Amino acid sequence: MPHGNMIGLQRRSVIDLCMLGHIYDCLTLCCSLLSSIMFGLFGGKSFEPAKDIPDLSGKVIIVTGGNTGLGKESVLQLAKHNPSQIYLAARTESKATSAIEEIKSQVPNAKVEFLSLDLTDFDSVKSAAETFKQKEQRLDILLNNAGVMAMPYSKTKQGYEIQFGTNHMGHALFTKLLLPTLLKTAEEPNADVRIVTLSSEGHNLAPRSCGVIYDQAAAETFGPWGRYGSAKLANILYSRGLTAHYPSLTCVAVHPGVIKTELYNSTERDNALIRYGLAAVGNIFMASVPQGTKNQLWAATAAKEEVRKAYFFTTPVGSASQGSGFAKDQKGVDKLWEWTEEELKKHGY
């Protein structure tokens, strides 16, 4: 066979494999959406933030990604229950300021303050943690809400794939730097300290060959949805690791449901198969942002004994789940914990 024809066949094979990968991603995503939607229609805990969130007097709270979507709605609902202070952690001050003004228009006495945090840059993460610790002696609820989804391939400042770096590594460092304050708060009588991390049923999209993509140099080859699944799987595994290492803290990961937020903007630019799949499934069934916040608000404020029953909660609200086979694997928990600690040490943390 002529050399040119061989190259042509190889290129066609690569294109065919990529197309098959997109088809698989689309089908898996749509099945995940449908499964989440169907299970979300039945059962679950009865939880209405207005009446079921208890009085939060004296509590200090951080919500990452609090300037939009689920984060902003979470800050709003928490602010209605008299916490001592909420820190709205976000990258863009103008958006955060606008969000705070909107929240205060509904809750005039809300104590909400902007905390500058860019999860794609460890220097910013360190600065945010230091700023917080200069102002506060306690931290009762850390809601690791911020995240990105199905983004085109790029890297964080420290060289991690953008979804893994934002959703996992940035939050892992932020949590690590805040642990002394969290643990000190947990020593108080009747303390109830929570770390709630937003994961997703999308963790099922993690590559079947490896689960978490540890080889960051090869991350681009897995596609945006495989990378997203890896990052969301890491959220569950790391939350489990926190529970194992710090039993005085209540640490869980949650799936919010299928919510039409700004996260889907990047998926709509992705490719036609996924775009039309989301349009067919999502636009009919996606829940509202207030509905989507219920699981994380429940995990952050419900009775401790209820929240400690599982490490991952899916929809409907408060539905315990073990997640995927990768999420259930204790060896995976240990591996991610050790790997993350080593990575943070490389950067001086």
Active site amino acids? 228, 232
Contact 287, 40 (CB under 8 A): yes
Contact 315, 36 (CB under 8 A): yes
For 70, half-sphere exposure in the C-beta direction (CA atoms, 13 angstrom radius) is 28
List the one residue out of 335, 326, 341 whose CA is nearest residue 169. Answer: 341
List the one residue out of 282, 332, 151, 160 whose CA is nearest residue 228. Answer: 151
287 - beta bridge partners? 259
d(CA 271, CA 18): 12
List the one residue out of 138, 144, 77, 69 whose CA is nearest residue 112. Answer: 77
List the one residue out of 249, 245, 253, 254 whose CA is nearest residue 337. Answer: 245
For 241, half-sphere exposure in the C-beta direction (CA atoms, 13 angstrom radius) is 22
d(CA 84, CA 104): 15
> Cα-flanking dihedrals φ and ψ of residue 267, to 5°?
-70, -30
Tokens 């999308």 locate to 202
Find the farthest-apart pair of alpha carbons in the chain and give their distance in angstroms, rounded: 79
The CA R_g of the chain, rounded to the nearest whole Å, is 20
CA angle 198, 202, 204 (to 5 degrees): 125
d(CA 212, CA 205): 10
For the record, the structure tokens of 32 come out as: 């995940």
